[in-house]
A and B are shown apart, each in its own frame.
Chain A
Amino acid sequence: MMRARVAYSGAIHTATPARNPQGAQDRAEELLLDDGRLVSGAEVVWLPPFEVGTIIALGLNYSDHAKELAFNSQEEPLVFLKGPGSLLGHRGSTRRPAGVKFMHYECELAVVIGRRAKNVARAASMRHVAGYCIANDYAIRDYLENWYRPNLRVKNRDGGTVLGPWLVDASDVPDPANLGLRTHLNGELRQQGNTRDLIFDIPYLIEYLSAFMTLVPGDVILTGTPEGVANVMPGDEIICEIDGLGRLVNTIAADESFGR
């Protein structure tokens, strides 16, 4: 089952794909709302597909991307946290401040917790996963400082955590450790990877995290991005795609779109 959360006609609804369950190659995603109405994906506002709790993100969790950033091998996952103010849904726009030199997307597999997890062993860890979605975890490297890296000014900006379009049930993702990820920038394939190349895999991360923090339903782990990040400019369309999870669309907006 794949579910979206959308705003339509004055209310927030759960929606499922009316057709094309592999996540709509066509732009006219057709949605079946929970009240039976059939609507076009272009008529709704797409929200993050679940009530998002703690947002846990991984840095440098693909060996190729770690190499790209000249980073050495690690003993412990590089985990940072993001706040709820950074969340954005499918087809939203993310601001690029004037004057910055390097703002980039990061296509990531997001693992959504469905059952409370505390001190969970690796072997039992996958039972705590509700499902998966696509994340685009933006960064503006101009603001990187060597204090509590990556500092929130780089990573926790408004609109910097894009989630969606669907939450796909774990039972519909038979092998989350073998999913292709791709990012298209203005239609051109720029980033490619596969979750089989994760340095710390999903069971490891759940075991590691749940040893010191209790995970509860709605908490989400953004598992890191492979190599191929590229600079984005106002007007650019970024589509992050993961096998079986659909395509997450975002556009970049300039300061002029904002009143302050």
Chain B
Amino acid sequence: MSAAVCTIPFEIAPFRLTGAVYGTLLNHRSALAELGSRAAQPPYGAPPRAPVLYIKPRNTLAASGDQVQIPAGMSELEAGPCIGLVIGRTACRVREEGALHHVAGYLIVNDVSVPHDTFYRPSIRFKARDGFCPLGPAVVPRDAVADPDALTLRTYVDGALVQTASTADLVRSAARLLADVTEFMTFIPGDVLALGVAWPAPRVRAGQRVDIAADALGTLSNEFVMAAR
């Protein structure tokens, strides 16, 4: 499954994804606002200073149309609609001005999680399960997106609109995030950086279909099913 995802077609360099996908925690203002004063209390002690990332490993990657399996014994999962940047040029310590020149294009990411209420040291069981990161349906070249800071994502569960989120409401814009992250880690062409999920993340039960649509980026569609025991 994951190998196929890395061949999501796109007609611009680097032509393929590396399979490295990074998510950004609490980068949508709604998510940080929901946490409110708890961000300053134990166990956190202080709101995040630097960007907090996590990794969606290659076993999580899936394509539009693939089924997402709800683990046996669980009733629902959280969808994580967000925009992903596909890196086009090696990005090491880039400046915010011009940071987007390192972006080849954009895609939709569904950063699926098992619902959990801690950000301190959550088990990777919540985010790194097989098939928990559908991407696509395609990589849209940077030039085809007029303003990456004004992309609206609409998420539908079984056709009903459940969330509308915009990249205008990110804590760190795409360019700012690239600058702050590449201060400590380098991205190479084909890496994906997802910009952050809005609160509340839609809950999805077995048998339901999630469609995440953005005007310029198409629609990422996945059915959620109960895993066989």
Contact = CB atoms under 8 A, between A and B. Distances in A.
B43 A85 contact: no
Given A81-B128, A84-B20, A158-B185, A143 B122 contact: no
Contacts of B71: 212
A147 B40 CA distance: 11
Interface in B76-102: 92-93
Given A157-B184, A216-B59, A151 B53 contact: yes
B53 A80 contact: no
Contacts of A53: 58
Given A143-B50, A146-B43, A260 B93 contact: yes
Contacts, number: 101
Interface in B1-57: 18, 20, 22, 25-26, 43-46, 48-55, 57
Interface residues of A, number: 32
Most buried by A among B57, B125, B184, B186: B184
A147 B22 contact: no
A213 B129 contact: yes
A146 B44 contact: yes
Given A54-B57, A212-B129, A147 B20 contact: no
Given A84-B18, A145-B48, A214-B130, A152 B59 contact: no
A212 B113 CA distance: 12
B188 interface: yes
A83 B93 contact: no
Contact of A81 (B18, B50, B121, B124): B124
B92 to A, nearest CB: 6
Given A148-B119, A148-B121, A83 B20 contact: yes
Nearest to A154: B184
With a 10 A CB-CB cut-off, give which of A53, A118, A146, A215 has the most chain B CB atoms.
Answer: A146
A149 interface: yes
Contacts of B46: 145-146
A101 interface: no
Interface in A178-223: 212-216
B24 to A, nearest CB: 10
B185 A81 contact: no
A149 B119 CA distance: 8
B59 A153 contact: no
A147 B129 contact: no
A213 B130 CA distance: 5
A148 B125 contact: no
Interface string B109-132: 000000000011111110011100
A212 B188 CA distance: 28
B106 interface: no
B122 A260 contact: no
Given A54-B58, A83-B55, A147-B52, 19 more contacts: A78-B121, A79-B123, A80-B124, A81-B124, A81-B128, A83-B185, A84-B20, A143-B184, A145-B46, A148-B53, A149-B121, A152-B52, A152-B53, A152-B55, A152-B184, A156-B55, A212-B128, A213-B57, A213-B129
14 contacts: A54-B58, A83-B55, A143-B50, A145-B49, A148-B53, A148-B54, A148-B119, A152-B22, A156-B53, A156-B184, A157-B185, A158-B185, A213-B57, A213-B130
